[in-house]
Amino acid sequence: MADNAVELIGLSKLFADIPAVDRIDLTVATGEFLTLLGPSGCGKTTTLNMIAGFLTPDAGTIRLAGRSVDRLPSFRRDIGIVFQDYALFPHMSVADNVAFGLKMRRVAKPEITRRVAEALDLVHLSGFGERRPMALSGGQRQRVALARALVIQPTVLLLDEPLSNLDLKLREEMRLEITTLQRRLGITMIMVTHDQGEALAVSDRIAIMNKGRIEQLGDAHSVYENPGSRFVADFIGQTNFVPGTVREGTQAGGECTVTTEAGNLTLLAPQALQAGAKVEIAVRPERLRFATAADAAMQLSGTVLRHVYLGDHTETHVRTTAGSVVVVRTGNHGEAPLPAENDTVALAAAAADCRVFTAPA
């Protein structure tokens, strides 16, 4: 088996001269679960549609299992796809929906019957074969769509927001089922989502897309802990931004000295910065604490605006002396009570938990 299931090389797609996908390079290993994550309109579906062969790229090459498929029609690409809206055939039974891809491929009837039963069993829908999609719940329809894609035994499965129409509980269940299936069957999966929690939970690697480009690629830990740009820091998880000005610039990945309301701080800058540049210090709500700590690089003072109680944690909104609003996340460990609203508080964060990014224009 080829080491790489999917390779995208310089892949672009323009709509009316505007790039929807802009020179993407991406390699997905065989058996990997890769997620494309990004805001609406960043080019996720367009990328999947090119891999599936539903859209022709304007530039670049797609290789599947080491072989260029640029001239291969969709049905010969050995790819399964689960669409954003399931796209089940309403007039067909569940079994016929699942059988569809096999009939298209002219598989013999007895084998179709066997494989459809197998696929329905895989998604826990044995006994539902005779029903129409209308007579199923959203989660069951979702699983029919999954069975229909799996039954052709694709080497690559593309999933476009497969869980977006489900309620939270079901979404978490299906999420688990998909990852279990993926490991058991060894299928390479590329999933599109704009739910960052989902991306963090299921992916071997996450490609964070912005305006048709891949802005960062890495495992959940690295994209969350080490965002390489303000966009990624903002998109993955929650981030506080405290404004400042660069005193001493640096190359990408170096330390720079920044003047902020917390004084002069020397902090890591993932991207190059020049003296005088307007910047923002990024710090996660769970890395800010109510304290003055001698070892903390960043110390702010402010006033508590409000608490948002969320069960397992509380988000406290604090207006700093210079007027930024930051959020402090405190886990519910049943410990000391939080400061009251309108109290003056001190906030602290370690240097290792802060990053400096260019402020948005």
Ligand X SMILES: Nc1ncnc2c1ncn2[C@@H]1O[C@H](COP(=O)(O)OP(=O)(O)OP(=O)(O)O)[C@@H](O)[C@H]1O
Residue 320 touches which of ligand X, Mg ion, none (Cβ within 5-8 Å per kind): none
Provide the minimum distance between the beta carbon of 177 and Mg ion in the complex, in angstroms, as a whole number: 22
DSSP 69-98: -TT--GGGS-EEEE-TT----TTS-HHHHH
60 burial level (CB within 10 Å; 0-12, 13-18, 19+) = middle
* Residue 214 binds ligand X, judged by CB under 6 A: no
Residue 216 touches which of Mg ion, ligand X, none (Cβ within 5-8 Å per kind): none
Sheet holding 4-15, edge to edge: 18-29, 4-15, 59-64, 67-68
Alpha-carbon gap, residue 192 to 38, rounded angstroms: 9
* Residue 45 binds ligand X, judged by CB under 6 A: yes
Residue with Cβ nearer ligand X (38 or 162)? 38
56 burial level (CB within 10 Å; 0-12, 13-18, 19+) = exposed
Cβ atoms of residues 145 and 88 within 8 Å: yes
Residue 8 touches which of ligand X, Mg ion, none (Cβ within 5-8 Å per kind): none
What six digits make up the tokens of 21? 């996908």
What six digits make up the tokens of 276? 């005088």
Which member of 63, 132, 194, 287 binds ligand X (CB under 6 A)? 194
**Helices 138-150 and 168-185, axial angle in degrees (round to 10):** 20
Alpha-carbon gap, residue 283 to 348, rounded angstroms: 10
Residue with Cβ nearer ligand X (194 or 287)? 194
Residue 40 touches which of Mg ion, ligand X, none (Cβ within 5-8 Å per kind): ligand X
- Closest CB to Mg ion belongs to which residue? 45
End-to-end CA distance of the chain: 48
Quick one: which segment of 42-50, 244-252, 270-278, 307-315 binds ligand X (CB under 6 A)? Answer: 42-50
Residue 15 touches which of ligand X, Mg ion, none (Cβ within 5-8 Å per kind): ligand X
* Residue 98 binds ligand X, judged by CB under 6 A: no
Provide the minimum distance between the beta carbon of 118 and Mg ion in the complex, in angstroms, as a whole number: 30
Question: Which parts of this chain interact with Mg ion (CB under 5 A)?
Answer: 45
Cβ atoms of residues 125 and 144 within 8 Å: yes
Pairing of strands 188-193, 33-37: parallel
Residue 42 touches which of ligand X, Mg ion, none (Cβ within 5-8 Å per kind): ligand X
Alpha-carbon gap, residue 163 to 42, rounded angstroms: 19
Provide the minimum distance between the beta carbon of 254 and ligand X in the complex, in angstroms, as a whole number: 33
Provide the minimum distance between the beta carbon of 39 and ligand X in the complex, in angstroms, as a whole number: 7
Which residues in the 272-331 window bind ligand X by CB under 6 A?
A: none
- How many C-beta atoms lie closer than 10 Å to residue 277's C-beta? 17
Provide the minimum distance between the beta carbon of 40 and Mg ion in the complex, in angstroms, as a whole number: 7
Quick one: which segment of 35-43, 128-136, 179-187, 242-250 binds ligand X (CB under 6 A)? Answer: 35-43
Residue with Cβ nearer Mg ion (43 or 270)? 43
Quick one: which segment of 37-45, 96-104, 197-205, 254-262 binds ligand X (CB under 6 A)? Answer: 37-45
* Residue 196 binds ligand X, judged by CB under 6 A: no
* Residue 56 binds ligand X, judged by CB under 6 A: no
* Residue 41 binds ligand X, judged by CB under 6 A: yes
Pairing of strands 79-82, 156-160: parallel
Alpha-carbon gap, residue 258 to 243, rounded angstroms: 9
Tell me the H-state helices in 229-306: 230-235
Provide the minimum distance between the beta carbon of 163 and ligand X in the complex, in angstroms, as a whole number: 13
Contact residues for ligand X, defined by CB under 6 A: 15, 20, 38, 40-46, 194
